[in-house]
Amino acid sequence: MKSVGFVGWRGMVGSVLLNRMIKENDFSNIIPHFFSTSQSGQNGPIINNTLFKDLKDAYNLNLLQEMDIIITCQGGSYTDSIYPKIRKNNWKGYWIDAASTLRMNNDSVIVLDPINLKVIQNALDSGIKTFVGSNCTVSLMLMALGGLFEQNLIEWISVSTYQAASGAGAKYVIELLKQMGAIYNIVCNDLSNNLSSILDLEKKVITQIQNNNFPLKHFSVPLAGSLIPWIDVDMGNGQSREEWKGQFETNKILGSENKIIIDGTCVRISSIRCHSQSFFIKLNKNLSKKNIEEILINHNKWVDFVPNNMEETICKLTPSAISGTLRIPVGRLRKLSMGNKYFSAFTVGDQLLWGAAEPLRRMLNLLINI
Ligand code: NAP
Q: What is the pLDDT of residues 202-235, one digit of tens each?
A: 999 999 999 999 999 999 999 999 999 999 999 9
Ligand 1 contact, 136 CB (< 6 A)? yes
Asked if the model's pLDDT at residue 40 lies above 80, the reply is yes
Q: What would the pLDDT profile of 127-163 be if each residue is shown by its tens digit?
A: 999 999 999 999 999 999 999 999 999 999 999 999 9
**What is the C-alpha to C-alpha distance for residues 21 and 27, in angstroms, rounded to an integer?**
7
Cα 162 from Cα 267, distance rounded (Å): 5
Query: What's the pLDDT band for 295 if we cut at 50, 70, 90?
Result: very high
Cα distance between residue 60 and residue 25, in whole Å: 29
3-state helix, strand, coil in the chain (%, to 5): 40, 20, 35
362 contacts 69 by C-beta, under 8 angstroms: no
CA distance 366 to 370: 7
Q: Is the CB of 139 under 6 A from ligand 1?
A: no
CB of residue 353 inside a 6 A radius of ligand 1: no
Mean pLDDT of 73-93: 98
Task: Give the pLDDT confidence of 17-26 residue by residue, as tens digits.
Answer: 999 999 999 9
pLDDT digits (tens, 9 = 90+) for 85-99: 999 999 999 999 999
- Widest pairwise Cα distance in the chain: 71
Determine whether the shortest distance from the Cβ of 323 to ligand 1 is under 6 A. Answer: no
Atom of ligand 1 nearest to the CA of 351: 40
**Residue 56: what pLDDT?**
98
* Residues in the chain, total: 370
Residue % of the chain over a pLDDT of 90: 97
Place 369 in a pLDDT band, splitting at 50, 70 and 90. confident
Task: Please tell me if the CB atom of residue 38 comes closer than 6 angstroms to any atom of ligand 1.
Answer: yes
Helices then strands, each counted (H, E), the chain: 12, 15
With cut-offs at 50, 70 and 90, classify the pLDDT of residue 304. very high
Q: Distance between CA atoms of 244 and 233, rounded to whole angstroms?
A: 10
How confident is the model over 71-92, as a mean pLDDT?
98
Q: Return the pLDDT at 193.
A: 87
Tens digit of each residue's pLDDT (9 = 90 or more) over 98-115: 999 999 999 999 999 999
What percentage of residues in the chain have a pLDDT greater than 70?
A: 100
At 273, is the pLDDT very low, low, confident or very high (cuts 50, 70, 90)?
A: very high
| pLDDT above 90: residue 370 | no
Residues identified as active-site:
136, 275
Residue nearest to atom 29 of ligand 1 (CA): 75
What is the 169 CA–ligand 1 centroid distance (Å)? 5
Look at the pTM and tell me if it is higher than 0.85. yes
Atom 4, ligand 1: which residue's CA is nearest? 11
Cβ 352 under 6 angstroms from ligand 1: yes
Q: How far is the CA of 74 from the centre of ligand 1 (A)?
A: 6
Q: How far is the CA of 40 from the centre of ligand 1 (A)?
A: 17
Instruction: Provide the pLDDT for residue 339.
Output: 97
Please identify, by atom number, the ligand 1 atom nearest to the C-alpha of residue 174.
18
| Ligand 1 atom nearest to 13, measured from its CA | 26
Residue 37 Cα to ligand 1 midpoint, Å, equals: 12
Indicate the average pLDDT of the chain.
97
Cβ atoms of 273 and 166 within 8 Å: the answer is: yes
CA dist 70 and 348 (Å) reads 30
User: Ligand 1 in contact with 272 (CB < 6 A)?
Assistant: no
For residues 319-347, give the mean pLDDT.
98
Instruction: Give pLDDT, residue 8.
Output: 97
Tell me how far the alpha carbon of residue 96 lies from the centroid of ligand 1, in angstroms.
Answer: 15
